[in-house]
A and B are shown apart, each in its own frame.
Chain A
């Protein structure tokens, strides 16, 4: 972050990409990494926005803010101040930093409205009790809305770079499958059955099956479901068109996917699985950020100094085991990434970031991590 800035691989990505999607399981520090990358992009002169979907408001906390809303919050002046406080060069004229935490419910409603010109149809969907619960809880809806917001922001064109911090999940790739999950609702073969008048074209078997289902669920649920399905049926064409737009955007060469992981024995297998899936969807794999590394601490001494409290020796044992696991994980990962990149002109990035000894609470802390990017990954 100095005037003689080294253009490392990640800077290259931050300078050339329009969208970077960060994926990873819970607890790996995805939100912090995404925010630190956004900070760095801003310092490189990019108009940057980071979107995070997180019920725990981690981004707001780690930025030292009470709240971030559905509309972009401009953090440039805070960033300028933090740069001054740290005695770092000022933010380039063109650079800016924004953050968004979409309200998924709001986004879901405006999404439905955007699919139809008719307020009556939109209301039929939105007022349906199934939709009401669905929009709050459906596990894929967060992911889907994240991408919906991404598409909207991209179309507005106000930012050079959008960093999308995906919702935490066990499955790193939940995000990639979300559109398909939601698309199931819009599966025409099935919706058609639900909206057809019961007396037309419905086979005896189908009528029987629906009758049995109604016995189980009660008549009211089936009525709501038919109503929900028929309202969705009205917007299915626009939905599919929207889905293709999102897919197209994610497949574009200026969009790429970054995996954030913590060093463990699962790192390499997870990374390979991620690469396969990303490529399978026709997306670009940018690389992996291995966060929470402990190697920068140096090797653990066999024993603590004699005057050290007893717990330090036990802590060193755990720490040393963790470092050993990390070193094996990194060897494994580097080997696997090498095989991946053989014959591939654009080798995937493999970045490291250190485990922190306290939590991140301000832009100034994030700046330090952003600088650690450079220190831990010399060009």
Chain B
């Protein structure tokens, strides 16, 4: 953990909120990290007798997972692959209230087409589902989509809220945004790798999120940090850029250069004063069985690392 006053650890703060959005560029390990957070949270005491917290992990429209169903992964740790059509039907039935009328609406082919194709509605119902779920769990941890900045969902909701003026969707969208803006209820976590591009993009992502939710400062995690010497011994990363070749020629040279390179890359965050937490590179076990394309053991190991680092408020 980056040193700082222990009561102002941004990650620790972020993990106390009921709604936790985990964002970042594609390939940085958002799915594993967000699952690890959810799993680790589900092992924390709930404050209600001897029980632990009830946690929902949400991903959006993952083609590799069953759509729209709650699935129990371990006690108090549930998964939901949020899907627009199901979410739309749930939402409309809640709004309309009368089953016959709901059926007329959701079974109408034109309406189905609009719900799918019309921009705005799609993102709105997905986020709306998450927003609704937050009151039913101790924490909802969302694995945000990575396409573009994965921000289209927030941006869309914000832009379209205006277009829906005069209907109930408008007021729901406004309340949703209100929650997302509220640092008591909701947090934004940005995950990156210690590589230049994702680190830079994370700063853009932060700026973007702050424009939408100015009061809600994101927390940062750098994932898959290669083993490296203690940072104090590593102030000299000046040699990184003048290395003649971008290629290393032996494992030891690679290990040394990678440690230096990552420390050098992380200056991108340090220079702008970003505090962050680190998660180590969990060595892959190539023969381990997989569940939903995640090798067994990775999420558990990351969750243990989080617990070891005491990022959860007692």
Using a CB–CB distance below 8 Å, which chain A residues touch chain B?
25-28, 55-56, 58, 61, 129-130, 133-134, 136-139, 142, 167-171, 174, 184-185, 187, 189-190, 193-194, 205-206, 208-210, 212-221, 224-225, 264-266, 294, 296-301, 304-305, 308-312, 314-322, 324-325, 328-329, 354-361, 365, 368-369, 372
Contacts of A184 in B (CB 8 A): 113, 116-117
Residue of B26, B109, B165, B283 near A27 (CB, 8 A) is B26
With the chains together, A26 CA to B29 CA distance in Å? 11
At the interface, yes or no: B49 with Cβ under 8 Å from chain A? no
**Are B105 and A142 in touch, CB under 8 angstroms?**
no
**Are B247 and A372 in touch, CB under 8 angstroms?**
yes
Contacts of A311 in B (CB 8 A): 227-229, 255, 259
At the interface, yes or no: B25 with Cβ under 8 Å from chain A? yes
**Are B251 and A224 in touch, CB under 8 angstroms?**
no
With the chains together, A170 CA to B149 CA distance in Å? 12
Contacts of A169 in B (CB 8 A): 26, 146-147
**Are B254 and A25 in touch, CB under 8 angstroms?**
no
Given that A217-B167, A221-B167, A308-B252 are known contacts, is A25 also in contact with B286, CB under 8 Å in the complex? no
With the chains together, A316 CA to B293 CA distance in Å? 25
At the interface, yes or no: B160 with Cβ under 8 Å from chain A? yes
Contacts of B229 in A (CB 8 A): 309-311
Chain A: which residue is nearest B115 at the CB level? A213
**Are A26 and B252 in touch, CB under 8 angstroms?**
no
With the chains together, A365 CA to B242 CA distance in Å? 12
Given that A25-B26, A218-B167, A265-B295 are known contacts, is A356 also in contact with B247, CB under 8 Å in the complex? yes
Contacts of A206 in B (CB 8 A): 108, 110
With the chains together, A138 CA to B152 CA distance in Å? 8
**Are A328 and B241 in touch, CB under 8 angstroms?**
no
**Are A358 and B286 in touch, CB under 8 angstroms?**
no
With the chains together, A321 CA to B288 CA distance in Å? 12
- What are some 21 contacts across the A-B interface (CB < 8 A)? A55-B148, A56-B197, A129-B163, A130-B120, A133-B156, A137-B159, A169-B147, A174-B147, A187-B117, A212-B96, A264-B284, A296-B247, A312-B255, A315-B255, A318-B226, A318-B281, A320-B251, A357-B246, A357-B257, A357-B261, A359-B195
With the chains together, A311 CA to B111 CA distance in Å? 59
With the chains together, A60 CA to B253 CA distance in Å? 29
Chain A: which residue is nearest B233 at the CB level? A309
At the interface, yes or no: B101 with Cβ under 8 Å from chain A? yes
**Are B104 and A221 in touch, CB under 8 angstroms?**
no
Contacts of A185 in B (CB 8 A): 117
Contacts of B156 in A (CB 8 A): 133, 137
Using a CB–CB distance below 8 Å, which chain B residues touch chain A?
25-28, 63, 92, 95-96, 101, 104-105, 108-111, 113-114, 116-121, 145-149, 152, 155-156, 159-160, 163-170, 193, 195-198, 200-201, 204, 226-229, 240-241, 243, 245-259, 261, 265, 281, 283-287, 290, 293, 295
User: Smallest CB–CB gap between B73 and chain A, Å?
Assistant: 21
Contacts of B287 in A (CB 8 A): 328
User: Smallest CB–CB gap between A371 and chain B, Å?
Assistant: 10
**Are B252 and A357 in touch, CB under 8 angstroms?**
no
**Are A322 and B26 in touch, CB under 8 angstroms?**
no
**Are A297 and B249 in touch, CB under 8 angstroms?**
yes
With the chains together, A300 CA to B247 CA distance in Å? 16
**Are A315 and B226 in touch, CB under 8 angstroms?**
yes
Interface centre among B95, B114, B243, B253 (most CB of A within 10 A): B114
Residue of A56, A129, A138, A328 near B286 (CB, 8 A) is A328
Interface centre among A170, A193, A316 (most CB of B within 10 A): A170
Chain B: which residue is nearest A356 at the CB level? B246
Given that A27-B198, A319-B251, A358-B240 are known contacts, is A218 also in contact with B256, CB under 8 Å in the complex? no
**Are A26 and B152 in touch, CB under 8 angstroms?**
no
Contacts of A58 in B (CB 8 A): 197
**Are B110 and A212 in touch, CB under 8 angstroms?**
no
**Are A209 and B105 in touch, CB under 8 angstroms?**
yes
Given that A322-B283, A358-B240 are known contacts, is A27 also in contact with B27, CB under 8 Å in the complex? yes
User: Smallest CB–CB gap between B147 and chain A, Å?
Assistant: 5
**Are B119 and A137 in touch, CB under 8 angstroms?**
yes
Contacts of A318 in B (CB 8 A): 226-227, 281, 283
**Are A133 and B159 in touch, CB under 8 angstroms?**
yes
Contacts of B283 in A (CB 8 A): 317-318, 321-322
Chain A: which residue is nearest B246 at the CB level? A356
Given that A142-B148, A213-B105 are known contacts, is A319 also in contact with B254, CB under 8 Å in the complex? yes
Contacts of B284 in A (CB 8 A): 264-265, 321-322, 325
Contacts of B293 in A (CB 8 A): 266
